[in-house]
């Protein structure tokens, strides 16, 4: 990991010595099922662009973010990545979702252009092979967050657990690490279901989940599509604990879910609740005061990231 970080730093340092602006490609899901995540990410880069313009760029060179929308589609994400590479981007940031990020890896690896994914799956960066050598990411992995969820379940006396997740790489990754952690802690997975991000009904899956009478259910989804299973479970009379992943920690999830997502349990990085943390956290004295830095100037086209979640995967302000 240290060698990869040094390689990325050296690559960008050399690029900074080149003539002209540093072109950084950004691919996000500003439309489609993942838009509730992609829009804040896009707005964050608009804000960073404004901040960099005010300070004169990086190492005396102007930085230009070229932002493309993949419409929550893997094929479009790959196409956008190829376009950015061909146009001379020195690095690629993106994209919002795990399946699309995985699809982008062969493109950046072939071009030897560093990529920083905004998606959560550990599979994006591990194992570190010839292709993933060029890939980094910002959010916590599902493996790490599954440990936090299961630890909370154990503390609450949960014994029987159900799971429903996306029928794609994100949902499968969560299922894999969640089930492994349940087994390690002696909890029983009694039912496991899947659904598509674009589905409008999960009634059948919800009924099967409820029929197995789990004490708690984890929804392995992200953004506003994660509301559907929770709402359906509530409507069908489920009264147990409902957990979500860190992929739902944004205002749109709360707006769309309304009363149906009240009481949701989920893991999240401390940046989301920074203003609620005691002055003793973290011990290293991390500079949490970011409100003035995360507001664009009057008249800016960039919308400031809003609490509880800014475009954190697109920001470097969260500690690892």
The answer to whether residue 172 sits within a structural domain is yes
- Encoded tokens for 199: 């589905």
Instruction: Verify that 58 and 151 share a domain, yes or no.
Output: no
- Nearest CA-CA partner of 165 in 149, 153, 154, 151: 149
The answer to whether residue 284 sits within a structural domain is no
Instruction: Verify that 53 and 168 share a domain, yes or no.
Output: no
The answer to whether residue 298 sits within a structural domain is no
* Distance between CA atoms of residues 131 and 305, nearest Å: 32
Sign (positive/negative) of CA torsion 257, 262, 263, 269?
positive
User: How many domains is the chain partitioned into structurally?
Assistant: 2
Task: Please answer whether residues 121 and 142 qualify as being in contact, where contact means their C-beta atoms are separated by less than 8 angstroms.
Answer: yes
Domain end position, chosen among 88, 105, 137: 137
Instruction: Verify that 151 and 244 share a domain, yes or no.
Output: yes
CA distances from 146 to 85, 175, 232 (A): 35, 9, 23
Instruction: Verify that 14 and 103 share a domain, yes or no.
Output: yes
CATH no. for residue 90?
A: 3.40.50.2300
The answer to whether residue 316 sits within a structural domain is no
β-bridge mates for residue 193, sequence order: 164
User: Would you give per-residue pLDDT tens digits along the chain (320 residues)?
Assistant: 555 555 555 555 555 445 688 999 999 999 999 999 999 999 999 999 999 999 999 988 999 999 999 999 999 999 999 999 999 999 999 999 999 999 999 999 999 999 999 999 999 999 999 999 999 999 999 999 999 999 999 999 999 999 999 999 999 999 999 999 999 999 999 999 999 999 999 999 999 999 999 999 999 999 999 999 999 999 999 999 999 999 999 899 999 999 999 999 999 988 888 778 887 876 655 555 544 444 444 333 333 334 434 454 554 333 32
CA distances from 241 to 78, 177, 230, 233 (A): 38, 20, 10, 11
Sign (positive/negative) of CA torsion 245, 235, 195, 178?
positive
Instruction: Verify that 12 and 81 share a domain, yes or no.
Output: yes
Instruction: Verify that 26 and 83 share a domain, yes or no.
Output: yes
CA distances from 35 to 86, 97, 223 (A): 26, 10, 8
Domain that holds residue 116: 2-137
List, in order, residues 6 or more apart from 106 with CB less than 8 Å away.
131
The answer to whether residue 95 sits within a structural domain is yes
Instruction: Verify that 132 and 11 share a domain, yes or no.
Output: yes
The answer to whether residue 35 sits within a structural domain is yes
Task: Please answer whether residues 195 and 224 qualify as being in contact, where contact means their C-beta atoms are separated by less than 8 angstroms.
Answer: no
The answer to whether residue 201 sits within a structural domain is yes
Instruction: Verify that 83 and 196 share a domain, yes or no.
Output: no
Domain end position, chosen among 137, 170, 201: 137
Largest CA distance in the chain: 64
Instruction: Verify that 164 and 101 share a domain, yes or no.
Output: no
Domain end position, chosen among 118, 137, 156: 137
* Distance between CA atoms of residues 115 and 101, nearest Å: 9
CA distances from 184 to 79, 93, 179, 224 (A): 41, 35, 9, 31
Q: Using alpha carbons only, what angle is made at residue 214 by residues 212 and 216, rounded to the nearest 5 degrees?
A: 150
Instruction: Verify that 219 and 184 share a domain, yes or no.
Output: yes
Instruction: Verify that 149 and 133 share a domain, yes or no.
Output: no
Instruction: Verify that 221 and 118 share a domain, yes or no.
Output: no
Task: Please answer whether residues 230 and 204 qualify as being in contact, where contact means their C-beta atoms are separated by less than 8 angstroms.
Answer: no
């Amino acid at each position: 990991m240290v060698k990869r970080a040094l390689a990325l730093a050296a690559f960008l340092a050399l690029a900074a010595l080149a003539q002209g602006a540093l072109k950084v490609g950004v691919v996000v899901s500003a439309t489609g099922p993942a838009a509730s995540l992609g829009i804040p990410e896009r707005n964050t880069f608009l804000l960073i662009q404004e901040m960099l313009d005010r300070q004169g760029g990086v190492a005396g060179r102007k930085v230009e973010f070229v932002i493309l929308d993949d419409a929550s589609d893997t094929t479009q994400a790959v196409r956008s990545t190829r376009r950015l590479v061909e146009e001379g981007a020195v690095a690629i940031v993106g994209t919002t979702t795990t399946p699309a990020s995985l699809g982008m890896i062969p493109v950046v690896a072939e071009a030897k252009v560093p990529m920083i994914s905004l998606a959560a799956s550990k599979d994006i960066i591990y194992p570190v092979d010839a292709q993933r050598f060029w890939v980094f990411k910002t959010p916590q992995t599902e493996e790490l967050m599954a440990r936090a969820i299961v630890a909370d379940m154990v503390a609450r006396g949960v014994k029987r657990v159900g799971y429903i997740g996306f029928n794609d790489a994100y949902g499968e990754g969560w299922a894999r690490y969640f089930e492994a952690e349940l087994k390690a802690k002696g909890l029983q997975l009694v039912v496991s279901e899947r659904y598509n991000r674009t589905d409008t009904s999960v009634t059948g899956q919800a009924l099967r989940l409820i029929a197995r009478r789990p004490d708690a259910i984890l929804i392995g989804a992200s953004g506003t599509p994660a509301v559907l299973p929770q709402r359906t479970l509530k409507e069908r009379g489920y009264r147990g604990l409902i957990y979500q992943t860190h992929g739902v920690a944004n205002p749109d999830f709360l707006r769309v879910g309304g009363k149906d997502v009240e009481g949701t349990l989920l893991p999240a990085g401390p940046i989301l609740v920074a203003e609620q943390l005691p002055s003793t956290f973290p011990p290293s004295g991390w500079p949490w005061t970011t409100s003035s830095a995360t507001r664009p100037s009057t008249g800016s086209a960039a919308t400031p990231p809003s609490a509880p979640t800014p475009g954190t995967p697109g920001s470097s302000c969260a500690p690892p």
